[in-house]
Amino acid sequence: MKKAGTLFVHGITPVEAGTGAISTPIFQSATFCHPALGQSTGYDYSRCQNPTRRELEMSMALFEHGKYGLAFSSGMGAISTLIKLFQPGDHLIVSEDLYGGTFRLFNEYYAHYGYIFSWVDTSDFAKIEAATRPETKGLFIETPSNPMMKVTDIRHCADFIHRTRGYLIVDNTFLSPYFQNPLDLGADFVVHSGTKYLSGHNDTLAGIIVHSNYEAEEVLRQAQMSEGATLAPFDAWLTLRGLKTLALRMGKHEENGKKIAAYLRAHPSVEKVFYTGFDDHPQHALSSYQARGHSGMISFYLKKAEYVPKLLASVKLILFAESLGGVESLITYPLVQTHSAIPEEMRLSAGVNDRLIRISCGIEEADDLIEDLEAAIPRQST
């Protein structure tokens, strides 16, 4: 088996057989001609399957060590499809500190259809056990969590939920397959917002599921085809193109993350920095066991909420925008952006207050990013 960095460059099909094309062709066709009655080339209609999308799906299955891959028009499309594995009345335990859009989808839509969700700090295993009921059929975790960078033990969760034949789903968006492969640790399904590190250039939306469960594959394929949140050929190509440099980019994101986290920690106007790459991160040992690195995601509390508007107005290189994982560094204010859908009490108990800032370190030079922050974070005159 070749190393991940090599696999990312070549994908599942290094050269297209028909033409020798090295870059996967963009099959911009809605429909495909049948050779004869009852015959198919394997492609009938692009909502069901498309060759460019398939290249991405099979490549992601290779990268995440699964048998099957499915690509969607967004991460939310992928997550929504995974819920089709459950029935109304089923109970799912979900990380409390997770992407706000996932909370909204579960709480404002699926909860009304009779699915039951418990929001739990899954980094604390006792809390998972305490939330478990006879009808618990699934665990949905984000690790590291968003935005508090708490780490959940994937193997422990998998062993636990498998005892009652439930499923463990891991949202691996923050680390990408370069740093973490949840299926190897026992997870049943790995899901990504391909919009983030996978495509990596803030230029497309995409969602990915990878798994190895034959029965579930039938359910997921059917749901994907029926609901139609499938990834367009050009967006599949952009994601494939992004993946070629995943290893290079992740290395630089992490290098910048380490430098910027250290800079922020030493800043007198910063109260606390949340970064899994710190040796004294509360779950450092677990994170070193289950992941190979830390990406470029950092959150921190400023000492005063009044610093926030000044910081967001003053950054120049680091762009004030939602999202993460692209080559451009982005700064986010979770309270009003990614986490605005989460009720106040729950948001505060998860740690998302009015002084919390999240940075996705891009691949610019760290010194320039630090210079940008230095000019933007107020220093209290004493």
**Residues tagged active-site:** 47, 99, 171, 196
C-alpha to C-alpha distance for 296 and 105, rounded to whole angstroms = 26
C-alpha to C-alpha distance for 84 and 126, rounded to whole angstroms = 28
- Range in contact with ligand PLP (rule: CB under 6 A) among 36-44, 95-103, 297-305, 349-357: 95-103
Which of the 8 DSSP states describes residue 182? G
Q: What angle do CA 26, 32, 38 make, to 5 degrees?
A: 145
C-alpha to C-alpha distance for 206 and 196, rounded to whole angstroms = 8
Answer yes or no whether residue 74 interacts with ligand PLP by CB under 6 A. Answer: yes
Which of the 8 DSSP states describes residue 45? B
Q: Given the structure tokens 């630090």, which residue do they identify? A: 370
Answer yes or no whether residue 196 interacts with ligand PLP by CB under 6 A. Answer: yes
CB atoms within 10 A of CB 342: 23
* Closer by beta carbon to ligand PLP, 137 or else 196: 196
* Closer by beta carbon to ligand PLP, 74 or else 123: 74
Answer yes or no whether residue 101 interacts with ligand PLP by CB under 6 A. Answer: yes
Answer yes or no whether residue 283 interacts with ligand PLP by CB under 6 A. Answer: no
Fill in the amino acid letter for 161: I
DSSP run (H or E) holding 367: helix 366-376
C-alpha to C-alpha distance for 237 and 24, rounded to whole angstroms = 7
Answer yes or no whether residue 195 interacts with ligand PLP by CB under 6 A. Answer: yes
Answer yes or no whether residue 64 interacts with ligand PLP by CB under 6 A. Answer: no
Phi, psi dihedrals of residue 377, rounded to the nearest 5°: -85, 120
Answer yes or no whether residue 90 interacts with ligand PLP by CB under 6 A. Answer: no
Q: Are strands 319-320 and 136-142 parallel, antiparallel or unpaired?
A: unpaired
C-alpha to C-alpha distance for 224 and 115, rounded to whole angstroms = 20
- Range in contact with ligand PLP (rule: CB under 6 A) among 124-132, 179-187, 188-196, 212-220: 188-196
What mask of x and - would describe binding to ligand PLP in positions 122 to 151, judged by CB under 6 A? --------------------x---x-----
Which of the 8 DSSP states describes residue 232? P
Answer yes or no whether residue 102 interacts with ligand PLP by CB under 6 A. Answer: yes
Residue nearest to ligand PLP (CB): 75
What mask of x and - would describe binding to ligand PLP in positions 17 to 56, judged by CB under 6 A? ----------------------------------------
SS3 assignment, position 301: strand
Q: Exposed (0-12), middle (13-18) or buried (19+): which is 158, by Cβ within 10 Å?
A: buried
Query: Shortest gap between Cβ of 33 and ligand PLP (angstroms)?
Result: 33
What mask of x and - would describe binding to ligand PLP in positions 314 to 353, judged by CB under 6 A? ----------------------------------------
- Range in contact with ligand PLP (rule: CB under 6 A) among 42-50, 68-76, 148-156, 213-221: 68-76
Answer yes or no whether residue 172 interacts with ligand PLP by CB under 6 A. Answer: no
CB 79 within 8 A of CB 108: no
Phi, psi dihedrals of residue 294, rounded to the nearest 5°: -130, 5
Answer yes or no whether residue 75 interacts with ligand PLP by CB under 6 A. Answer: yes
- Range in contact with ligand PLP (rule: CB under 6 A) among 31-39, 42-50, 152-160, 190-198: 190-198
Answer yes or no whether residue 258 interacts with ligand PLP by CB under 6 A. Answer: no
* Closer by beta carbon to ligand PLP, 69 or else 270: 69
- Sheet with 68-72, edge to edge strand ranges: 68-72, 207-211, 189-193, 167-171, 136-142, 91-95, 116-120
With CB under 6 A as the rule, give the number of residues binding ligand PLP: 15
Residues forming contacts to ligand PLP in the complex (CB under 6 A) are 74-76, 99, 101-102, 142, 146, 171, 173, 193, 195-196, 205, 207
